[in-house]
């Protein structure tokens, strides 16, 4: 790290954008005032796989307030959405605003109505009839990668095996997808207000797909009410809205309904991972094999292959394993598209590893803490290049376990478990170590220092309620020796900020913050040379590689013998966060991640029937944790700076979704181990646990 981070970094200053939102002054995409906009109503497929026959639009075209009805067959050819090819893609999947020739999932847009009001658009959409000839669909492998290192052991003392099926999840941000397009006749251009994590990507992808000069597209991400990876990519509906604005030379608005979000926004998780871990008589890991299968929908968002990649390449996390045999496959099916969701494959990799370790601990009789400590990479081994192509950068992995064991009073918890089990209670303790790689690559910053003691920071990254304005102002204030309230931070506007990546993969503080820091250092350098005001520094910063945060979770759980109802009685975490710019914001990120990790482990699950029909299409059927559902989390942390970025920060935004589910599942299985229960699938609903208990009693 170049220079100390001391004056404001580490102070828990209040988030700068919070007061406006509390006062109701927030401005979201659906709040943008447009000039007599046309509203979009989409006609969506009601079947999972079918050939498209005739689409009858005449009655809808005559509807009140209807300006136009569009079908895929009548739209011009458009370009493709770019996809990050992190694993080799064998079969490209067609991206289309409106389905052409066939549909491949429930909820896929077939046609679109443009009308003068939302109600008129929806009424007219009901008048469109599409002839769909249902057909069968066979899942197919479209991408794969494998890694194999080391020599398989001749023999092992114990072998642990398991299969983990992650429930498919609906990211469910408070604000659904939304886009408002203002058409500017004078310049034949548009200003696009988009609820997105990646405004610069929105602009470049729209320009490419629509074959329009980027200068004619101005993108602003106003306040965004949550994203979690779901809003990292363009959707067919977004592209159609912008195409319609150019085609009709009118303002256009589309805001998704909750039903739209369940059926056509990307889902997360859904991965199935199987693995085997071989150990010797002393509990030392010898060999790990793993097979990851990740679902892919009818089209690929930008980061669609990331979960399949991460779920495999992050293995064996922070442990030493001499022999690896790991493969991952992306399987295309006719369900709703999948994409990145907070953690994006990291929870899946961590879950498999930690389940295998718990099974190995039980088979060998070694304490779960001890078997992990024996196999974690020591500080002297870092940085470490893994067999799956990663460089683990820095830290003391065992320290996280030691601190967790101490802070949770593990010895007392074990005694309490023993005492309560003797009384007939079902009580378990689960632990899990985790690693969290933040993103790699570049980010931009432009810092301007004025002669009146104020400064402006413009960043290519964005914010969806992360209080990034606060963090960047603190970094600039520290290095320019200014009070934080003299710093103006600009984000999420392609006209006022330099081209950047956006908010993804816990990368923004580590990479975006480092870009701000280096721009401030350049300002000071220019000052020292006597440069006149205003002094501006433009930086494109690229980190040296991924910064790997890590930590550990411990969960104490009891399960009601009569109903199977689980109760998390205690929850602890320890995180190595790297340099903390604002401790309060770090804690907020950990708590938010924990809540979503709790949701996956305990209650959330998207369900389809055998014909691809969605059975959980509303919050009446899909259970999300409420504030009262989430147990208190006792948080502890320490800081070991990452050498991979100038700031020394590590990502924490996904820590809770990575570490918590594995510890929760391990706790449930520990609670039911005396009954012979060895495997469970999430979510751990009372029904799931009660059924497992009944089977355990009969075996």
Identify which has the larger pLDDT, 25 or 693. Answer: 693
Q: Is the pLDDT of residue 416 over 60?
A: yes
In contact, 535 and 235? CB cutoff 8 Å: no
In contact, 346 and 658? CB cutoff 8 Å: yes
Q: Is the pLDDT of residue 255 over 70?
A: yes
Q: Is the pLDDT of residue 22 over 80?
A: no
Q: Predicted confidence band at 503 (pLDDT cuts at 50, 70, 90)?
A: confident
What's the CATH class of domain 32-137+174-227+231-264?
Answer: alpha beta
Please report the pLDDT score of residue 410 as a whole number: 98
Q: Which CATH architecture has domain 18-27+441-542?
A: 2-Layer Sandwich (3.30)
- Residue 187 neighbours by CB distance under 10 Å: 10
Please report the pLDDT score of residue 180 as a whole number: 98
Average pLDDT on 47-59 reads 94
Please report the pLDDT score of residue 699 as a whole number: 44
Q: What is the pLDDT of residues 115-168, one digit of tens each?
A: 999 999 999 999 999 999 999 888 999 999 999 999 888 889 999 999 999 999
**Cα 31 to Cα 26: distance, rounded to the nearest angstrom:** 9
Please report the pLDDT score of residue 12 as a whole number: 58
Joined together, the tokens standing for residue 136 give 């069968």
Please report the pLDDT score of residue 103 as a whole number: 92
Q: How far does Cα 227 stand from its chain's mean position?
A: 8
Q: Is the pLDDT of residue 557 over 90?
A: yes
**Cα 203 to Cα 212: distance, rounded to the nearest angstrom:** 10
Q: Is the pLDDT of residue 6 over 80?
A: no
Q: What is the DSSP string of 413-445?
A: HHHHHHHHHHTT-EEEEEEEEEEEEPP-SEEEE
Q: What is the pLDDT of residues 541-556, one digit of tens each?
A: 999 999 999 999 999 9
Fold equal for 18-27+441-542 and 146-153+161-170+266-438+546-698: yes
Find the Cα–Cα–Cα–Cα dihedral 242, 244, 247, 250, rounded to 10°: -90
Q: Is the pLDDT of residue 425 over 80?
A: yes
Q: Predicted confidence band at 15 (pLDDT cuts at 50, 70, 90)?
A: low
**Cα 573 to Cα 594: distance, rounded to the nearest angstrom:** 10
- Residue 354 neighbours by CB distance under 10 Å: 28
Q: Is the pLDDT of residue 670 over 90?
A: yes
Least confident of 87-91, 380-384, 401-405: 87-91
- Looking at the DSSP bridge assignments, the partners of residue 66 are 115
Please report the pLDDT score of residue 163 as a whole number: 97
* 260 CB-near residues (< 8 Å, 6+ apart): 42, 44, 107, 176, 177, 237
Strands 442-449 and 426-437 come out as: unpaired
Edge-first strand order for the sheet with 38-44 is 66-71, 109-115, 38-44, 252-255, 178-184, 189-194, 217-220
Least confident of 91-95, 235-239, 440-444, 459-463: 91-95
Average pLDDT on 499-506 reads 83
Domain 146-153+161-170+266-438+546-698 grouped into CATH 3.40.1280.10? no
Please report the pLDDT score of residue 4 as a whole number: 41
The pTM (predicted TM-score) of the whole model is: 0.94
270: left (phi over 0), alpha (psi -120 to 50) or beta: left
Q: What is the pLDDT of residues 179-210, one digit of tens each?
A: 999 999 999 999 999 999 999 999 999 999 99
DSSP 638: E
Find the Cα–Cα–Cα–Cα dihedral 462, 468, 470, 476, rounded to 10°: -70
First-last CA distance in the chain: 58
- Residue 73 neighbours by CB distance under 10 Å: 12
Q: Is the pLDDT of residue 273 over 90?
A: yes
Place of tokens 């007599």: 36
Q: What is the pLDDT of residues 261-272, one digit of tens each?
A: 999 999 999 999
Q: How far does Cα 178 stand from its chain's mean position?
A: 19
**Cα 577 to Cα 548: distance, rounded to the nearest angstrom:** 9
Please report the pLDDT score of residue 697 as a whole number: 62
Q: Predicted confidence band at 293 (pLDDT cuts at 50, 70, 90)?
A: very high
Q: Is the pLDDT of residue 17 over 60?
A: no
Average pLDDT on 408-413 reads 97
Please report the pLDDT score of residue 2 as a whole number: 41
Please report the pLDDT score of residue 469 as a whole number: 87
For residue 474, whether the previous peptide bond is cis, meaning omega lies within 30 degrees of 0, is no
Q: Is the pLDDT of residue 477 over 90?
A: yes
CA distances from 255 to 36, 42, 198 (A): 16, 11, 18
DSSP 596: H
Exposed e or buried b for every residue in 190-202, given b needs 16+ CB within 10 A? bbbbbbbbbbbbb
Q: What is the pLDDT of residues 327-379, one digit of tens each?
A: 999 999 999 999 999 999 999 999 999 999 999 999 999 999 999 999 999 99
Average pLDDT on 93-107 reads 90
Average pLDDT on 286-309 reads 96
User: Residue 528: how many CA atoms within 13 Å on its side-chain side?
Assistant: 7
Average pLDDT on 421-450 reads 95
- Looking at the DSSP bridge assignments, the partners of residue 331 are 141, 295
The residue ranges of every structural domain in the chain are 18-27+441-542, 32-137+174-227+231-264, 146-153+161-170+266-438+546-698
Average pLDDT on 611-616 reads 91
* 285 CB-near residues (< 8 Å, 6+ apart): 277, 278, 279, 316, 319, 320, 321, 322, 360, 375
Q: Predicted confidence band at 394 (pLDDT cuts at 50, 70, 90)?
A: very high
Q: Is the pLDDT of residue 652 over 70?
A: yes
Please report the pLDDT score of residue 582 as a whole number: 87
Question: Mean pLDDT, the chain, as a whole number?
Answer: 93
Please report the pLDDT score of residue 93 as a whole number: 82
Please report the pLDDT score of residue 243 as a whole number: 98
Please report the pLDDT score of residue 153 as a whole number: 86
Q: Predicted confidence band at 3 (pLDDT cuts at 50, 70, 90)?
A: very low
């Amino acid at each position: 790290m170049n220079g100390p981070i001391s004056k404001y970094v580490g102070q828990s200053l209040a988030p700068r954008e919070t007061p406006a939102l509390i006062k109701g002054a927030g401005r979201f995409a659906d709040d943008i005032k447009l000039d007599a906009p046309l509203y979009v109503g989409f006609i969506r497929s009601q079947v999972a796989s079918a050939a498209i026959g005739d689409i009858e639009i005449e009655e809808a075209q005559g509807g009140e307030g209807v300006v136009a009805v569009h079908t895929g067959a009548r739209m011009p050819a458009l370009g493709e959405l770019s996809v990050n090819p992190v694993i080799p893609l064998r079969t490209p999947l067609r991206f289309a605003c409106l389905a052409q020739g066939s549909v491949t999932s429930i909820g896929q847009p077939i046609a679109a109505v443009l009308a003068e009001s939302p109600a008129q658009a929806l009424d007219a959409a009901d008048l469109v009839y599409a002839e769909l000839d249902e057909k069968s669909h066979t899942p197919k492998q479209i991408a794969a990668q494998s890694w194999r290192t080391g020599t398989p052991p001749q023999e092992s003392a114990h072998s642990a095996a398991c299969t983990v099926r992650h429930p498919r999840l609906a990211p469910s941000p408070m604000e659904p997808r939304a886009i408002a397009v203002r058409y500017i006749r004078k310049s034949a251009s548009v200003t696009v207000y988009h609820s997105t994590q990646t405004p610069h990507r929105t602009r470049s992808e729209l320009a490419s797909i629509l074959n329009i000069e980027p200068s004619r597209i101005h993108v602003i991400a106003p306040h965004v009410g949550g994203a979690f990876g779901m809003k990292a990519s363009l959707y067919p509906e977004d592209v159609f809205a912008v195409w319609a604005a150019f085609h009709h030379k009118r303002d256009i608005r589309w805001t998704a309904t909750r039903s739209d979000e369940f059926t056509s926004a990307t889902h997360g998780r859904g991965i199935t991972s199987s693995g085997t871990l071989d150990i010797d008589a002393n509990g030392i890991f010898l060999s790990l094999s793993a097979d990851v299968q990740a679902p892919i929908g009818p089209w690929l968002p930008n980061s669609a292959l990331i979960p399949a990649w991460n779920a495999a390449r992050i293995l064996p996390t922070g442990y030493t394993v001499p022999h690896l045999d790991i493969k991952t496959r992306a399987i295309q099916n006719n369900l709703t598209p999948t994409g990145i969701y907070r953690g994006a494959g990291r929870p899946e990799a961590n879950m498999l590893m930690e389940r295998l370790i718990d099974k190995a601990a039980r088979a060998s009789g070694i304490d779960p803490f001890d078997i992990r400590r024996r196999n974690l990479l020591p500080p002297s081994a870092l940085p470490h290049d893994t067999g799956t192509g990663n460089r683990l950068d820095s830290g003391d992995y065992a320290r996280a376990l030691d601190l967790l064991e101490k802070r949770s009073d593990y010895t007392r918890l074990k005694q309490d478990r023993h005492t309560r089990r003797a009384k007939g209670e079902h009580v378990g303790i689960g632990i899990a170590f985790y690693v969290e790689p933040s993103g790699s690559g570049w980010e931009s910053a432009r810092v301007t220092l004025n002669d009146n003691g104020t400064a402006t920071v413009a960043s290519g990254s964005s914010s969806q309620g992360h209080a990034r304005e606060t963090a960047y102002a603190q970094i600039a204030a520290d290095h320019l020796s200014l009070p934080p309230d003299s710093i103006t931070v600009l984000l999420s506007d392609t006209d006022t900020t330099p081209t950047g990546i956006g908010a993804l993969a816990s990368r923004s503080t580590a990479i975006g913050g480092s870009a701000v820091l280096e721009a401030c250092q350049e300002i000071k350098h220019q000052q020292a040379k006597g440069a006149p005001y205003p002094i501006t520094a433009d930086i494109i910063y690229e980190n040296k590689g991924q910064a790997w945060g890590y930590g550990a979770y411990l969960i104490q759980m009891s399960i009601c013998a009569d109903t199977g109802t689980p109760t998390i009685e205690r929850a602890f975490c320890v995180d190595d966060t790297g340099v903390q710019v604002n401790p309060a914001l770090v804690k907020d990120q950990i708590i938010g991640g924990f809540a979503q990790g709790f949701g996956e482990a305990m209650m959330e699950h998207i369900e389809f029937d055998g014909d691809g029909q969605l059975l959980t299409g509303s919050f009446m059927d899909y259970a999300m944790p409420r504030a009262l559902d989430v147990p208190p989390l006792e948080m502890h942390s320490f800081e070991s700076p990452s050498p991979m970025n100038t700031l020394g920060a590590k990502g924490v935004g996904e820590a809770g979704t990575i570490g918590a589910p594995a510890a929760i599942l391990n706790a449930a299985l520990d609670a039911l181990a005396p009954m012979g229960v060895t495997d469970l699938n999430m979510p751990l609903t009372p029904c799931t646990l009660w059924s497992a208990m009944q089977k355990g009693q009969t075996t």
